[in-house]
Amino acid sequence: MRKIAITGAAGRMGRSLIEALSEASDAQLGGAIESPQSSLIGVDAGELAGLGRNAICLVSSVDELTEEVDLLIDFSTAAASAANVAACARRGLPVVLGTTGLDAAQLAAVTQSATQIPLCMASNFSTGVNLCFKLAALAAEVLGDEVDVEIVEAHHRHKVDAPSGTALSLGSAVATALGRDLESVAVYGREGQTGARQRQTIGFSTIRGGDIVGDHTVLFAGDGERVEITHRSSSRMAFAHGALRAADWLLHQPPGLYNMQDVLGLD
């Protein structure tokens, strides 16, 4: 029975992961981490997730995890994740990383840590979303430069980064298929007299409101027809189950940087 620790345990994804682990037949919660400033340090993780006591109390760092932990799943914040991955590298602990919004320095640090441990990093661990990455790339290859590409994403009011990491990954998949550099062609929102749309651009539109778990659409708009690839998440459990699937796969891999496409065999 593998033991998995979770960071951001008090957050929405953290609680979903605790629930998913409570239902798993081959894995169990081995540790739960929250920010050192959190008032929930010491609280029972099972009670926090509404599942009853499980004798795993929230701690404030990777260093406080027991030696029995086999892997860490991190859905926290960019700054915290960079530090958590470095701590895991020091103790040889594999990491499934779902945090988005890492800056260049944080991403470089995470990538360096992957030379020491197996690390699976993805903007989205949903199986359906990762299938959409593949479908979006295929659609771009087939439709080519005859269409305009726009990506629309919607999330709950509490999400702090925009566009979402998933939207950016969709954009990257499309740009790569079209032979474009996403950083050069991305347009993040429009306002005022913007002029005619340039065919090479890939547009991003962001919606924030309510309790939307996550909606993403890639729109390929041509003359006389449109193709839309849409994924809508109704529960974070889809992400949680995907993260556990990645964890099971990652435990059998050598050190290196992987993604969910590797886990699913879609590359």
134 with 109, same domain? no
Angle at alpha carbon of residue 11, lines to 258 and 153, rounded to 5°: 65
Q: 221 and 153 in one domain?
A: yes
Residue that is written with structure tokens 């030696």 in the block? 67
Does residue 155 share a domain with residue 243?
no
Q: Are residues 110 and 221 in the same domain?
A: no
Same structural domain, 185 and 223: yes
Range of the domain at 97: 2-121+236-264
Average pLDDT over residues 11-30: 91
Q: Does residue 115 sit in the same domain as residue 6?
A: yes
State residue 243 phi and psi, 5-degree precision: -65, -40
Same domain, 74 and 134: no
Residue type, 89: A
Q: What three-state secondary structure class fits 216? A: strand
| pLDDT at 89 (0 to 100) | 96
Q: What would the pLDDT profile of 188-223 be if each residue is shown by its tens digit?
A: 989 899 899 999 999 999 999 999 999 999 999 999
The count of domains in the chain is 2
Active site residues: 155, 159
* pLDDT of 196: 92
Kindly compute the dihedral angle of the four CA atoms of residues 238, 243, 246, 251, in this order, to the nearest 10 degrees: -150
Instruction: Tell whether 13 and 63 lie within a shared domain.
Output: yes
Are 17 and 112 part of one and the same domain?
Answer: yes
For 78-92, how does the pLDDT look when each residue is reduced to its tens digit (9 = 90+)?
889 999 999 999 999
pLDDT at 48: 86
Q: What is the CATH number of the domain that holds 114?
A: 3.40.50.720
Clarify whether residues 59 and 86 are in a common domain: yes
Q: Are residues 245 and 115 in the same domain?
A: yes
| Residue 196 CA to its chain's centroid (Å) | 34
Highest average pLDDT, of 20-29, 141-150, 159-168, comes from: 141-150
Q: Please report the pLDDT score of residue 52 as a whole number.
A: 84
Give yes or no for a contact between 202 and 175, defined as CB atoms under 8 angstroms apart: yes
CATH number at residue 185: 3.30.360.10
Q: What is the signed CA dihedral for 87, 92, 97, 102, rounded to 10 degrees?
A: 40
Specify which residues 214 forms β-bridges with: 233
Q: Is the pLDDT of residue 267 over 80?
A: no
Do residues 12 and 115 share a domain? yes
Secondary structure E strands in 116-162: 118-121, 148-155
Cα end-to-end distance, the chain, whole Å: 29
For residues 154 and 232, give the distance between their C-alpha atoms in angstroms, rounded to a whole number: 9
Q: Which helix H or strand E contains 48, and what residues bound it? A: helix 45-48
